[in-house]
Copies of this chain bind each other. A is one copy, B any other.
Amino acid sequence: MATIKDVAKLAGVGLGTASRVINKSGYVSEETAKKVLDAVKTLGYVPNETARAFVSQNNKMVALFLPSIHHAFFSELAFYIEDELDKHGYKLMLCNSDGQIKKEIAYINMLKQNKVSGIIGISYNAIENEIDHSMPIVLVDRHIGEDIPFVSSDNYGGGQLAFQILKEAGCTKFAFIGTYSKGLYTEVEKRKLGFKDAAEEAGDPYAIHIEEDPIKDQISFLNMFLTTYPDVDGVFVENDFMALNLVQLALDKNIKIPQDLSIIGFDGVKTYSPLRPKLSTIRQPVEKMGRSLVELLLKRISGEKVTPAIHPVEYIKGDTTC
């Protein structure tokens, strides 16, 4: 938490001057007063013991940043995070970063200023330089150093499992469809890696069809896949939403599913569960993930060491695989 010394230093004034402005005692020029007040604002300085106590007492607040709550997996995750925080008397502050690092940094600064107790973050930006490794931050699907814990599902195992299921269903030509994040290694990458490694181990041919995240025109990207790889008969798609789009495009082109093309997605969100054809998918345990994010974060807030939590996934058979 910032002290009056930090304020004086940033404002470029003496301690006495800073104190006079803050306590409104004695004369200070308007210009100097403005410098001090700006510094107070920038640092989030809280003027006295009582106020500090007040702030920390009211600070049972955790910020969650998401790329977009629009995405069904993220909104289900947010639901369980809020529910678990509530059980521990914490409130949730929600930030749709929409991929903007600027917005994420704003929340990291709130944490530095003690305005929130911790952060749960889903970020595909290079936030490493903004984070001090002692901060109570837990990330989803992102590994940025030993000291910042993360929660994910077993993405690598999920990729392997998807391959095995397609193989057992009789597919012979495989493909992975997904995205990559420039310069970043995310947990999501492991879905591809698990799939690729399993295919290589089995000695089977496979294609990798990827584009930088976020994909601007997903329909064109998927159409391109169908025209480029007409022989592929088993596809693993990075997430359910994209997999569902692929199912519909293929059906529109009179490709029979699963006879001609088997499709497995990833996420297993409830939002899509009533829809047909029911998508075969690798399900992430979203409730467990949400609750374990909170558990790890609360441990971090109380200063405990924690280790990443990696949750097993499971295959949910739908109508898009044999």
Contact = CB atoms under 8 A, between A and B. Distances in A.
A134 B159 CA distance: 55
Contacts of A115: 58
Contacts of A44: 58
B58 A69 contact: no
A271 interface: yes
A270 B248 CA distance: 15
Interface stretch (A78-86, A292-300, A306-314): A78-86
B70 A271 contact: yes
Interface in A238-266: 241, 244-245, 248, 251
A54 interface: yes
Contact of A251 (B50, B69, B276): B276
A186 interface: no
A275 B275 contact: yes
Given A51-B47, A115-B58, A79 B69 contact: yes
B70 A270 contact: yes
A78 B94 contact: yes
A94 to B, nearest CB: 4
B251 A274 contact: no
Contacts of A86: 95, 103
Interface string A49-74: 01100110110010000001110100
Q: How many copies are assembled? A: 2
Interface residues of A, number: 44
Contacts of A120: none
Most B C-beta atoms less than 10 A away, residue of A55, A75, A251: A75
A176 to B, nearest CB: 20
A148 B210 CA distance: 50
A125 interface: no
Contacts of A98: 83
A172 interface: no
A26 B54 CA distance: 21
A48 B46 contact: no
3 closest A-B pairs by CB: A51-B51, A75-B75, A94-B94
28 contacts: A22-B50, A41-B57, A46-B54, A48-B48, A51-B51, A51-B54, A61-B93, A69-B79, A69-B82, A70-B76, A70-B79, A70-B270, A72-B75, A82-B94, A82-B95, A82-B96, A83-B96, A83-B98, A86-B95, A91-B93, A91-B95, A92-B94, A92-B95, A244-B274, A248-B275, A251-B276, A271-B271, A275-B275
Given A41-B57, A79-B96, A83-B96, 15 more contacts: A47-B54, A54-B55, A68-B79, A69-B69, A70-B75, A72-B75, A78-B94, A82-B95, A83-B98, A91-B95, A92-B95, A241-B274, A244-B275, A248-B274, A275-B275
